[in-house]
């Protein structure tokens, strides 16, 4: 690291699956109909923001004896919402307009491969019924004291009915320069 900078880049993958186990489709837009193009699948990839709280969590986790709760399959959670505004995502501590409850990080996560940490949460059918889910937050708990490691926009937004499941895979890559 010549200049001593460490960079973290994240990617959030969101997939909506219907009751038959198939990836759902967005309604076909007028332009796609006009051009005879098929509808797009509800599978979204988008970057994320390590929040201000997340910066503090990461710094704490590097201590010999961390004082803040790590995100594990025991106490890691994701929250989704419908309130993305684009205003100061770095300062977000929760979703702006949360919908449904917190979903625990799946068993076996986080996983690490080289400098990439992967978190995954699966919202089963019946846990969500919302139109326009456009934000997600990765947290170290599900209480008022929980802190947000990262926050991301889901674009285009996804619709999840009570019959659908939602899978979110969050990767964070640490790079020194």
CA distances from 23 to 19, 84, 85, 135, 160 (A): 9, 23, 27, 19, 11
> What is the pLDDT, as a whole number, of residue 174?
86
Residue 21, sorted as left (phi over 0), alpha (psi -120 to 50) or beta, turns out to be left
Question: pLDDT class for 1, splitting at 50, 70, 90?
Answer: very low
For tokens 């068993």, the residue is: 107
Q: DSSP string of 11-72?
A: EEEEEEE-TTSPBPBPPPPHHHHHTTPPPPBSEEEEEEEE-HHHHHHHHHHTSSS--SPP--
Question: pLDDT class for 86, splitting at 50, 70, 90?
Answer: confident
For residues 53-81, average pLDDT: 95
pLDDT at 164 over 50: yes
Q: Picking from 5-9, 77-81, 146-150, which range would have the lowest pLDDT averaged per residue?
A: 5-9
pLDDT at 144 over 70: yes
pLDDT at 69 over 80: yes
For residues 39-68, average pLDDT: 93
């Amino acid at each position: 690291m010549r200049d001593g900078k460490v960079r973290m880049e994240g990617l959030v993958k969101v997939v909506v699956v219907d009751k038959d186990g198939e990836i759902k489709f967005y309604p076909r837009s007028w332009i796609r109909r006009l051009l005879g193009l098929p509808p797009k699948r509800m599978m979204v990839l988008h970057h994320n923001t390590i929040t201000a709280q997340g910066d503090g969590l990461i710094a704490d986790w590097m201590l010999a004896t961390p004082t803040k709760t790590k995100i594990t399959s025991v106490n890691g959670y994701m929250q989704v919402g419908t309130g993305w505004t684009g205003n100061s995502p770095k300062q977000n501590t929760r979703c702006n307009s949360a919908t449904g409850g917190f979903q625990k990080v799946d068993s076996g996560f986080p996983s690490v491969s080289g400098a990439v940490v992967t978190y995954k949460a699966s919202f089963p059918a019946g846990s969500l019924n919302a139109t326009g889910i456009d934000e997600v937050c990765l947290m170290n708990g599900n209480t008022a004291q929980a802190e947000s490691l990262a926050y991301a926009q889901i674009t285009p937004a996804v619709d999840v009915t009570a019959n659908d499941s939602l899978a979110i895979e969050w990767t964070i890559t640490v790079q020194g320069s």
